Amino acid sequence: MSSGYGDWRVSRSIGLGGMDTRQTVMVVASVMVPLLTFSVAGVVPGLVVAVPAVVVLALAVTRRSGVLVMDLAIARVRWQRAHWRGETSFRGQVFAELPRAWDLPGVLAPCKLVAVEEPGRGPVGVVWNQASGLMSATVLLSPAGALLNDLSTINSQVSAWGNLLASLADDETIRHAAVTIELVPEAGTRLADHVAGRADPDAPQLSKDVLDQLVAAAPRGASQVRARLTLTCDPAAGGGKPRSAAASAAEVARILGGLSISSAGADVLRRATPADLVRIVRTAFDPAAEAAPATAWDLEWADAGPVTAEDRLDRYEHDGAHSVSYVLLAAPRQRVAHDVLFPLCKPGKFPRRVTIAYRTLSRDEAGLVLEREANVAAAREYARKKSRRDPTARENADRDRALRAARQEARGAGLVQFAMYVTATCSDPAELDDARREVERAAGDSKLKLRVARGGQAAAFAAGLPVGIFPPDA
In a domain, 66, yes or no: no
What is the rounded CA–CA span in Å between residue 435 and residue 357?
23
3-state secondary structure of 315: coil
The chain-wide mean pLDDT, for the chain, equals 83
Number of domains in the chain: 1
In a domain, 70, yes or no: no
| Strand ranges (E), 361-470 | 416-426, 449-452
Are 329 and 67 in contact by the 8 Å Cβ rule? The answer is yes
In a domain, 211, yes or no: no
Tell me the torsion sign for CA atoms 345, 350, 351, 355: negative
pLDDT in tens, 220-231: 556 788 999 999
CATH code of residue 435: 3.40.462
| Strand ranges (E), 147-219 | 174-186
Specify the amino acid at residue 342.
F
What is the rounded CA–CA span in Å between residue 75 and residue 67?
11
Q: How far is CA 447 from CA 181, 341, 393, 433, in A?
A: 18, 8, 19, 21
Res. 101: pLDDT tops 60: no
Res. 1: pLDDT tops 50: no
3-state secondary structure of 102: coil
pLDDT in tens, 390-433: 777 777 777 777 777 777 777 767 788 899 999 999 999 999 99
Are 317 and 100 in contact by the 8 Å Cβ rule? The answer is no
The arithmetic mean of pLDDT across residues 16-24, rounded, is: 76
Are 256 and 118 in contact by the 8 Å Cβ rule? The answer is no
Angle between helices 205-217 and 190-198 (to 10 degrees): 170
Tell me the torsion sign for CA atoms 271, 273, 274, 276: negative
In a domain, 141, yes or no: yes
In a domain, 396, yes or no: no
Q: Looking at mean pLDDT, say which of 33-47, 245-259, 313-327 comes out highest.
A: 313-327
Element (H, E) at 335: none
pLDDT in tens, 134-165: 999 999 998 766 566 778 888 888 888 888 88
Residue 427 CB neighbour total at 10 angstroms: 12
In a domain, 392, yes or no: no
How long, in residues, is the chain? 474
* Pairing verdict, β 174-186 and 352-360: antiparallel
3-state secondary structure of 463: helix
pLDDT in tens, 348-371: 889 999 999 998 887 777 777 777
Say which residue, 308 or 299, is predicted with more confidence: 308
Element (H, E) at 229: strand 222-233
What is the rounded CA–CA span in Å between residue 134 and residue 364?
22
In a domain, 292, yes or no: yes
Say which residue, 238 or 440, is predicted with more confidence: 440
Say what the pLDDT of residue 98 is.
55
pLDDT in tens, 180-214: 999 988 655 666 666 776 777 888 888 878 877 87
Which residues, other chains included, contact 142 with Cβ-Cβ below 8 Å and sequence gap of 6+?
227, 266, 267, 268, 269
Are 349 and 185 in contact by the 8 Å Cβ rule? The answer is yes
Are 409 and 415 in contact by the 8 Å Cβ rule? The answer is yes
* Residues spanned by the domain of 164: 96-188+222-361+414-473
